[in-house]
Amino acid sequence: MINDDPYLWLEDIESEAALAWVAERNAETDAALASGAGFAPLKERLLEVLDAPDRIPYAARHGEFLYNFWRDAGHARGVWRRTTLEQYRTDAPRWEMLLDVDALAAAEGTKWIWAGARVRHPDCGRALVSLSRDGGDAVVVREFDLGTRTFVEDGFQVPEAKTRIGWIDADTVFVGTDFGPGSLTESGYPRTVRRWRRGTALEEADPVFEGEARDVAAGGWHDSTPGFERDFVYRSMDFHHSEMYLLTRESSLIRIDVPDDADAYAHREHLIVSLKSDWLGHRAGSMLAFGFDAFLAGDRTPEVLFTPDARTALAGHTWTRHHLILETMHDVSTRIEVLTPSPTPGTGWARAPLADVPALSAVSVVDTDPDVSDEFFLDVSGFLQPSTLYRGRVGGETEIIKQAPARFDAAGLGVEQFFAISQDGTKVPYFVIGPRDASPGPGPALLYGYGGFEVSLTPFYGAVTGRAWLERGGTYVIANIRGGGEYGPGWHRAALGADRVRAFEDFAAVATDLVARNITTPAMLGAAGGSNGGLLMGAMVTRYPELFGAIVAQVPLLDMLRFHELLAGASWIAEYGDPDDRADRVHLHALSPYHRLAADQAYPPLLLTTSTRDDRVHPGHARKAAARLRELGHRVLLHENTGGGHAGAGDNEQSAHNNALMHTFLWSHLARPAPPAPR
């Protein structure tokens, strides 16, 4: 029963008793991990990577300027800035500083963290800037003048909440925020959408749409595409199901009648629908294009833009002015092509490759300018391949515009992909990054996974992991387990609800396969994961402790009987189940790592990390698990950062510290045993 939990008091986030207990745990962790001779040099090397002045300054185009948010040693909280394309091409661009978040935080005495900005289109003269207090999901919103580089004194301003806001025109916005009782869902997100006009009070904004209390959220947006200006509203009933409506000028609603588990949106004359279940004879994972007006009139004849197969899934897509750039994954390696609609509707789309992508690597579209041109910025990287940023125009030449230097010594390292066989016979792919020469035999290995919410783990260049783990002789492993999106919607659905154990079994199968291939041993195998991946780590501790020598769970979800009562937890019921539903409660109790902890089990050493300011996954999950493990006599350390939100760190220094703690902990437990001294 809930009332039997002796550690409920640790859910009181900022109570004096809870924070005092956290301070004691932090002191223990610092003494165990941060006091050794190697910690400070490791942290310094990781911070050097994070603050490196020659990182690629990824940018987004708004009008004539390219905008970038940048943190470095001199700007811990960061600066928002912009430059021209001509300057961006140079090795040392001249940036126009728009907002210095460090200066703002100092002036206002608040630990502001940048949370993004919405630039008004098409004039690009103003922006709605979001600022988070020490990293939480809740933000304050302030209107910013891009010409004067100042906040607009009497402009749009919204106090702290999990606000959703966007421009309609120069003097009007759609806003969903905390308007008082009844205005938020049970998950803490906006339930209403209102049209707010300049010069009126926020509380006077006109309601245009309302969701249900049990929905995750409601929202609205204005499509400012010239010639296709339209307003839309939506309600997300849960994390995977939503309804979208066209909001007419008369404020009536026209339902966009697609499956509620599909992703759909309008783009110019098209309605694009990505399927999560079979529909109209097309299989889940397909992407379809309809004529928008024809669809509203009842025509259900689509152009098929993508059809999945057993090994290939849709990874993403981005529009330019005249083309659609399509990203797919084949066994978790990216492929990219350009689709061009025919000028005559219903007569097909032309296809052509956009770029050659090396094997076992990833490509992503960083930015395009869909209202104006066919320009694109494309990032290509791999586990051992630093990022290269390309700029080009579809149908024209492509140039390398930025290239990141190597951040760690990759000599002697290689990348391979293997497949493990899970308990039910499913083949589970995983990447191994480590020494090419296996002659010394098994060595320390770190296995990372997530397995939820259709999130795919694709190849990437991890400079922090490179310096903290690979350079020291460790092997790094990425497991593409079910629950993710690596093979489309079916791969995700296979681990929903009571079937979450499939993700756990997949991860354990990869761990077992690593040992069978002589890459590592259980004593030298570590595991790490965060958020939903923290739940995965809790499952490894309680279900497969014999497979691991040490485990790190970051901002973890661990109490599966109370997650829906804590902060944003109610929004994840569709992923896991409802603890208030008697039928779901049975499997949730079985899944819950917190409730599986026992005194008579031998668990590997565990490091739990969280943040006091995480207003998404409650820090009580990590706190209570640490307290329970301590009570049962197990080896556990807890580090709770006071800020940083769900990311666990609000600046590069905090991130370097957290990563140094994690890798110091893992290396201390997993390093290859020293050979016996000669007699």
Q: Which residues are catalytic?
A: 531, 646
Strand partners for 144: 127, 151
Residue 216: name the closest of 484, 569, 646, 497 by CA: 569
Residues contacting residue 574 through CB under 8 Å, at least 6 positions apart: 238, 239, 240, 241, 496
State the residue for tokens 């003097």: 171
Tell me the C-alpha to C-alpha distance, in Å, between residue 71 and each of 49, 52, 245.
12, 9, 39
- Is the link from the previous residue into 489 a cis peptide, with omega within 30 of 0? no
Tell me if 551 sits within 8 A of 528, measured CB to CB.
yes
Taken in order 448, 451, 453, 459, the sign of the CA dihedral is positive
CA pair distance 371, 367, nearest whole angstrom: 12
Residue 340, φ and ψ in degrees, nearest 5: -125, 115
Q: What is the DSSP string of 641-665?
A: ESS-GGGT-SSHHHHHHHHHHHHHH
Length of the chain: 679
CA pair distance 657, 663, nearest whole angstrom: 10
Residue 359: name the closest of 385, 327, 378 by CA: 385
Tell me if 531 sits within 8 A of 617, measured CB to CB.
yes
Tell me if 428 sits within 8 A of 509, measured CB to CB.
yes
DSSP H helical ranges for 352-483 = 463-468
Q: Which amino acid is at 12?
A: D
Q: Which two tokens stand for residue 121?
A: 């289109």
State the residue for tokens 């990759």: 410
Q: What share of the chain is helix, strand, coil (3-state, %, to 5)?
A: 25, 35, 40
Strand partners for 83: 66
Tell me if 652 sits within 8 A of 48, measured CB to CB.
no
CA pair distance 321, 391, nearest whole angstrom: 15
Tell me the C-alpha to C-alpha distance, in Å, between residue 497 and each of 185, 485, 501, 591, 620.
22, 16, 9, 10, 22
